[in-house]
Chains A and B, each alone.
Chain A
Amino acid sequence: MSPDGQTRGVKVTASNNLYTAILALAFCVVLATTVLVAYKCYSQYGTIFKIP
């Protein structure tokens, strides 16, 4: 939506680093939960998505 000239010249920066960190924390939590669930599924059932 912005012109290429403007995009190339504007450096993207976070408007607020605190909420970015909160989002990162949420993402990390979700990711860790996903990894944990995937690990449990694989370790217990031998597969992640298929029904044994």
Chain B
Amino acid sequence: MSALTKILIVLLTISSIFLCGIVVTYVANADNYRQKYNDLKADRDSLSRKAKDLTKQVNEKISEKRLLEDRLSSEVVSLKAEIRKLEGDLKNVDRERAGLVQKVNSWASIVQDFSQTNDKQLQLLKDTREELNKVQAEQIRERKELNETTASLIEKMAIIETLEAERKRLLEEKTELQSRLDQLLQPFGKVAAAPVPVTPPRDIARPATDTIRDIALRGLIADVDLKNSMASISIGRADGVKEGMKFYVTRGDDFLCEILIIDVEAEEAVGVLELVQQQPRVGDNVSTNL
């Protein structure tokens, strides 16, 4: 065996080992493209199925959405119609409510006026009853006085009758004595002079002169309650004010109204406004005489 053959054998062996090592390394590290292909194909197929499913679901959702839109549109239309109807009803109810509120207000004012009038009437009834009681008491007292006066009058009439009989008897005696005296003095040509009585003759009874004078109480408006038509004045029982008295309210030369006193305190009195020509204010003059 020649040396060249040996060298070639060695080189062939080394190169074979080298190349085989390279091939083994490459093959060992080579990717499994078939597996990758299969995996990618499986992924693609699954994705395609998913895409189909999703497309189908999207189409179903779109159809459901359209159905839902149609249904909701119909509901919206019906609800709009119902809203318009309800708005109309609401307007009607508002109008009715406004009318009822106005009626309630008018009735409230009427009831308030009626209550005030009722209170005034009650107060007037109370005052009238008090006055009636006073009048009845006074009537009883006057009847008693009348009875006493009647009894006294009867007694005096009896005395007058007695005195009249006495007077008649005295006149008869006077006439008889006058005739006797005339008979006694006639022979002497004399006539008896007219007697002069010691007791002076009485005149006819006349009514006494009017000695009544005005009270002339004067004061000021202390407070005014126009809502209840009430007012208080600055004078009271200490000044001579009594319940039932009537005061005239004036401002300058203008007559404003009257105040009928219904409650009297020591230093002030409260009354009801009557014949109101102008609204009184605090500080206006009040007096019992104009």
Q: Which residues of A contact B (CB under 8 A)?
A: 15-16, 19, 22-23, 25-26, 29-30, 32-33, 36-37, 40, 44-46, 52
Contact = CB atoms under 8 A, between A and B. Distances in A.
Given A37-B23, A44-B32, 9 more contacts: A15-B1, A16-B1, A19-B6, A19-B9, A22-B9, A36-B24, A45-B34, A46-B34, A52-B34
A16 B2 CA distance: 11
Interface stretch (B12-20, B50-58, B162-170): B12-20
Interface residues of B, number: 18
A33 B32 contact: no
B277 interface: no
A52 B41 CA distance: 15
**Chain A contact residues: over half helix, strand or loop, or mixed?**
helix
Contacts of B6: 16, 19
B35 A44 contact: yes
A26 B12 contact: yes
B27 interface: yes
Given A19-B1, A22-B10, A44-B32, A37 B27 contact: yes
Q: Which of B1, B10, B16 has most chain A Cβ within 10 Å?
A: B16
A29 B14 CA distance: 10
Given A19-B6, A26-B13, A33 B34 contact: no
Contacts of A25: 13, 17
Given A19-B6, A23-B9, A36-B27, A29 B20 contact: yes
Task: State the main secondary structure of chain B at its contact with A.
Answer: helix
Contacts of B23: 33, 37
A44 B10 CA distance: 34
15 contacts: A15-B1, A19-B5, A19-B6, A19-B10, A23-B12, A26-B12, A26-B16, A26-B17, A30-B16, A33-B20, A33-B23, A33-B24, A40-B30, A44-B34, A45-B34
Contacts of A45: 34
Contacts of A23: 9, 12-13
A13 to B, nearest CB: 12
B24 to A, nearest CB: 6
A15 B35 CA distance: 50
A50 B17 CA distance: 27
B26 to A, nearest CB: 9
B32 to A, nearest CB: 5
A30 B9 CA distance: 14
A32 B24 CA distance: 9
Contacts of B30: 40
B27 A22 contact: no
A25 B12 CA distance: 11
A48 to B, nearest CB: 13
A7 to B, nearest CB: 20
Nearest to B10: A22
Nearest to A21: B13
Contact of B20 (A16, A30, A46, A52): A30
Nearest to B6: A19
